[in-house]
Amino acid sequence: MSAWLDHGRRARLRGIVLLAACSPTLSFAGGPVHGARAAAMGTAFVGLADDASAFAHNPAGLALLGPERQIYGGATLVMPATDFRNPSGLEESTEFLAFAPPHLYYLPKASHADWRFGLGVFAPFGVGGRKWSSNGLTRYASTESLIGTLAVNPTLAGRLAPGLLAGFGLDLMLVKSLSRLRTDQSLLGAGDGMVKIKGSGAGLGYNFGLLYAPAEEWSLGAAYRSKIRVRLKGNLHLRNLAPPLQPLFGGAAFNSDMSSPLTFPDILSFGVAYKGWRNITLTVDAEQIRWSSFRSQKLNLEREVPPVATDSTTPLRWRNIWTLRAGVELRLSGTTALRAGYAYVPSPVPERTLSPAAPDGTMHHFSIGAGRKLRDGLALDVFYTVGLAGKRNVENAILSGSYRNTNHYAGISIAQAF
């Protein structure tokens, strides 16, 4: 029995890692889900920020917009996929999933020529996850891991001096997560047990940005988005417990309220834009995402069953990363524009804590898109991005093997000024 409990404890820790790894993966943090125009330019938008998606990229840019009432909204279809191969050569792929994080930005008519106030609603760390076969190779590490974030962002932007703009906003972020996996009970002569962890929470942060145009052709931007601390509250569900364990848990099923604190990372961004050459705009960004806030993950249970189900802390040891992005926009006429971009996004997840719930590898995002003004005050933007990662070989205590990720994004935004 003690040997099984040691094994069970490892499985339990995997469940905790799963909950932590359900937090936003690199594909979504700073990913192309906040507006189709910026996304088509590789999300290199901090130094340009001249449409309403500036709420998400650099709030100072809102002061560039005209005095009319403005609405900019849409959604991005996100389709992640991962292939796994274990050391024995057996292979498995995630099931098809599609998510559609929205974005909606609203600016009322300006009452002052140099100041703009508005409200943004968007998914700062995206909506997504992965689902594996419930009977497959990964089932004891993860069968399902889903995460959803949504922020409400009231923002004020204004002109501090000729050529110098600033913006400040508050972020109320809502989070939901769902994790599932199985536990191996074969040593007790029973089939797999099932674990489900479901939680939700909210946290408050802030963001600010600066935009400086030393000349008509050039603009420089910087933006900062603070950490947001969220306490997820929800339930831990265990099912199909082996008969020898049922006296401990009071039956074949067990439920407990749980809580788990998460600190979403702060983000520091810099960008430059040049728009003085033959109707072409060029943008370049560098962004640091401080994933070291994910150093460990705690799981607190209201009902403990020692030694199998107890409060625990699991090391994660995620690392800070720098992403690099570049974009181009070619204005063919007064009504049509073509766009393209590239983003380099390294993984913050070290080999020792990488799991099927968050099998991140270094991603290369390639984007294309277009925009068209349909009539006075109305415009349409569309884009497509493919994210490619090479094979990442992992040897750890969670699940060794190789992982390969591919992400597809397709989005639309509609702008209306009136």
Tell me which of 51-60, 192-201, 311-320, 402-411 is least confident: 311-320
In this model, does residue 310 exceed pLDDT 70? yes
What percent of the chain has a predicted confidence (pLDDT) above 90? 81
For residues 377 and 83, the model is more confident at 83
CA distance 356 to 245: 27
Report CA torsion sign: 98, 119, 285, 65. positive
Average pLDDT over residues 118-129: 93
Q: What is the pLDDT of residues 227-276, one digit of tens each?
A: 999 999 999 999 999 999 999 999 999 999 999 999 999 999 999 999 97
What percent of the chain has a predicted confidence (pLDDT) above 70? 93
pTM of the model: 0.91
For residues 414 and 129, the model is more confident at 414
Average pLDDT over residues 6-29: 41
In this model, does residue 145 exceed pLDDT 60? yes
- Structural contact between residues 157 and 165, judged by C-beta atoms closer than 8 angstroms: yes
Provide the pLDDT for residue 148.
92
Mean pLDDT of the chain: 91
Phi-psi region of 95 (alpha: psi -120 to 50; beta: other; left: phi over 0): beta
End-to-end CA distance of the chain: give it in Å, rounded.
71
Task: Report the half-sphere exposure of 115 (CA within 13 A, side-chain side).
Answer: 7
- Residue 190's CATH number: 2.40.160.60
Which tokens sit at 306?
Answer: 């020692």
Helix (H) or strand (E) holding 37: helix 36-40
Provide the pLDDT for residue 15.
37
CA distance 79 to 81: 7
- 154 exposure class (CB count in 10 Å sphere: 0-12, 13-18, 19+): middle
CA distance 323 to 273: 17
In this model, does residue 1 exceed pLDDT 70? no
Domain span at residue 385?
A: 2-417
Secondary structure of 255-299 in HEC code, one letter for each residue: EEEEEEEEEECCEEEEEEEEEEECCEEEEEEEEEECHHHCCEEEE
Provide the pLDDT for residue 126.
87
Number of domains forming the structure of the chain: 1
pLDDT category at 296 given cuts 50, 70, 90 is confident
Which tokens sit at 6?
Answer: 């040691």
